[in-house]
Amino acid sequence: MKRTWMYVFVMALMVASCSQSVYKPSLGSAGLSPISGGVPAQYGDAELYKSNKINENKARKQEKASQSRVVIYNAYLHLVAEHPDTVNDKLAVLAKKYEGYTQTLGTGKSVIRVKAEYLKDAVENITKLGKVKSKRISGDDVTAEYRDNMIRLENAMEARKKYLDLLGKAETVEEMLKVEKELERLNKEIDLIKGRLNRMQHLSDYSTITVYIKEKKKPGILGYIGLGLYHSVKWLFVRN
């Protein structure tokens, strides 16, 4: 049984190795200039030449995408307002205005998300909803983590393809069960990695704004009398 399994595995590797070796002739002096738009004589097959060009363009796009940065921006504001409920209503409107959505609206804390390119505009509008006690905007560069997960995803998907090939060549139930077990493990890993990538990309596309809202305290009758006396005494001693 073990010999049979090893034989199937070796044959699968040989087939995979043969399928990956592609004949790439050199253009040399007979090659045509890209400006001409013709097909080099060495290829002899327009479809093969077209396929190679498509693969080259795809590789360029992937390389360009890998060079872009993935940054997650977050903003934090502490506001004092007379009517917190009114602030929450306006936060929901701002979230929609800047192509985002409302996550939570509460009496003391509210969270909205807006498109990253509108973060500064959204924050500026929020500062007008009350008295700003503090404001902070931070950015978290997760590019390295994102690329690492991309590599892990590609490796896992490539391994899954090989196991699918082995599954089709399995000769016994035992061999099939072993391959299916590995496929199940790989599928779970792929789903987890995709989940991480999707979350990082989403948080990069939509910046999070957390607003802490404190209600402005209104003085009572004695408080207003005290404020009046304070301003009167201040006027006696301090005048422009």
CA angle 197, 203, 205 (to 5 degrees): 100
DSSP structural state of residue 130: S
84-104 pLDDT per residue, tens:
999 999 999 999 999 999 999
What 3-state DSSP class applies to 46?
A: helix
pLDDT at 107 over 50: yes
Residue 73: in which H helix or E strand, if any?
A: strand 71-81
Best CA proximity match to 115, nearest among 127, 128, 101: 101
Residue 24: per-residue pLDDT: 43
Mean pLDDT of the 47-69 span: 63
175-221 pLDDT per residue, tens:
899 999 999 999 999 999 999 999 999 999 999 999 999 998 765 55
What token pair was written down for 15?
Answer: 């087939």
Best CA proximity match to 200, nearest among 72, 60, 16: 72
Best CA proximity match to 125, nearest among 193, 207, 209, 220: 209
Residue 226: partners with Cβ closer than 8 Å, 6 or more residues away: 219
Q: How many CB atoms lie within 10 A of CB 219?
A: 10
Mean pLDDT of the 65-75 span: 84
Q: What are the phi and psi torsion angles at 230 (to 5°)? A: -60, -45
pLDDT at 35 over 90: no
